[in-house]
Amino acid sequence: MKQDPLNEEQFKARELDPGSEEEGSISWQSPSNIALVKYWGKKEPQLPMNASVSFTLSECHTRTTLIYRKKERPDDRMTFKVIFEGKPKPEFHPKIEKFLERILPYLPFLTAFEFEIHTGNSFPHSSGIASSASGMSALALCLVSLERKFDPTLEGERFKRKASFLARLGSGSAARSIEGPLVVWGAHPGIETSSDLYGVPYPYSVHEVFLEYQDTILLVDKGVKQVSSTVGHGLMHGHPFAGARFRQANTHLQELIPVFEGGDLEAFIRIVEKEALSLHGMMLTSDPYFILMRPNTLEIIERVWSFRKDTGSSLCFTLDAGANVHLLYPKAEKETVGRFIETELARYCQNGQFLKDQTGSGALCLG
Ligand code: PMV
């Protein structure tokens, strides 16, 4: 891990004059991501207790348009409206307000404008897929693009790092949604360039099998989660196994370095499934304890294991903080696994629903 030249202070915006920039709009599309090594447990200000790595997804994304107008009489308040999939969404207000207030030291011009935030997801609403990673990263990218209008030097790597840094302050995993196909967030001694402050593209050699890895998301339970990620992260404070878990995650990331390079899928499966079950193990053993898996989550896991044993497939699963199952497999197995999902797994999904996705290359500016 190199001592990164960027520190928190350097993300603070210079004294910028929004001058001639009266009004306009900026749009970004930003993807969701699926962690292979999980982030669970944090410290202030939204810094991870261990390093994590994720595949950036391609089809599951949020599109956000930020419309900005200079206030006639500047004040020190955040002034904005949120329109989600064409309809005003006051429920989103508190979360976005908190985010904007949190990032104000880094974008002090925010109070000079009034905003309309138009946003929507490619995946069905309340599918149980966390939209915070794609949503917060899309908004962060729009805001950094606005800053770039007054500071054209904010380009290239600096631009992406600042977007990731801000996205992180909205939702930790959002720090990993700016680039692709593999992103590391959290300082790790084996990964130079890694930082607690922002996500970076995985900097070493990656076997081609991982560049087109498939992720089919089985929608087991589309309801609202019983325990939010925020509460779950909080329960890692004082958790009796916390220290061991943070060490385990960092060891898993170290073990993945030769796996990413050589494409050893057996080792990949062992690490990725262990990570998913360790994450849920932390939930099962926190105080208060809770279970986010559903009976159908376990049915699917058992069937994945049988399928692997019977066919020699490299299909494996991972889980987020919820009941849905992400099935990961190489593109070469797209047809066989696709048939297996249709015939044997779809019945365990709510309304038979699943989403097909694969690794992607990161966010896209739409204008
Ligand atoms: O970004 P948050 O605070 O919603 O936390 C996400 C945590 C997991 O999705 C469970 C793991 C991860 O690394 O994405």
Quick one: which of 154, 167, 164, 171 has its CA closest to 194? Answer: 164
pLDDT of res. 127: 65
CA of 173 to the centre of ligand 1 (A): 5
Ligand 1 binding pocket (C-beta < 6 A) is 35, 38-40, 52, 130, 132, 171-173, 229, 233, 279, 320-321
- Amino acid 19: pLDDT: 66
Residue spans of beta strands (DSSP E) within the chain: 23-37, 42-43, 47-48, 52-70, 79-84, 87-88, 113-121, 182-185, 199-201, 214-218, 316-319, 325-329, 354-358, 364-365
Domains along the chain? 8-206 (3.30.230.10), 208-358 (3.30.70.890)
Closest-CA residue, ligand 1 atom 4, reads: 229
C-alpha to C-alpha distance for 229 and 40, rounded to whole angstroms:
8
**Beta-carbon count within 10 A of 327 CB:** 21
Determine the pLDDT at residue 5.
46
Which residue in this structure is represented by tokens 């030249």? 5
Where would I find the beta strands (DSSP E) of 278-344?
A: 316-319, 325-329
CB 317 within 8 A of CB 301: yes
Return the percent helix, strand and coil in the chain, to nearest 5: 40, 25, 35
Counting ligand 1 atoms within 8 A of each CB, the residue from 272, 279, 320 with the most, and so the one to mutate, is 320
> What's the pLDDT at 3?
44
* Of 49, 229, 256, 324, best ligand 1 pocket probe by most atoms within 8 Å of the beta carbon: 229
With a cut of 70, which residues of the chain have pLDDT below it?
Answer: 1-6, 14-20, 125-128, 130
| DSSP summary character for residue 14 | P
**Amino acid identity, residue 276?**
A
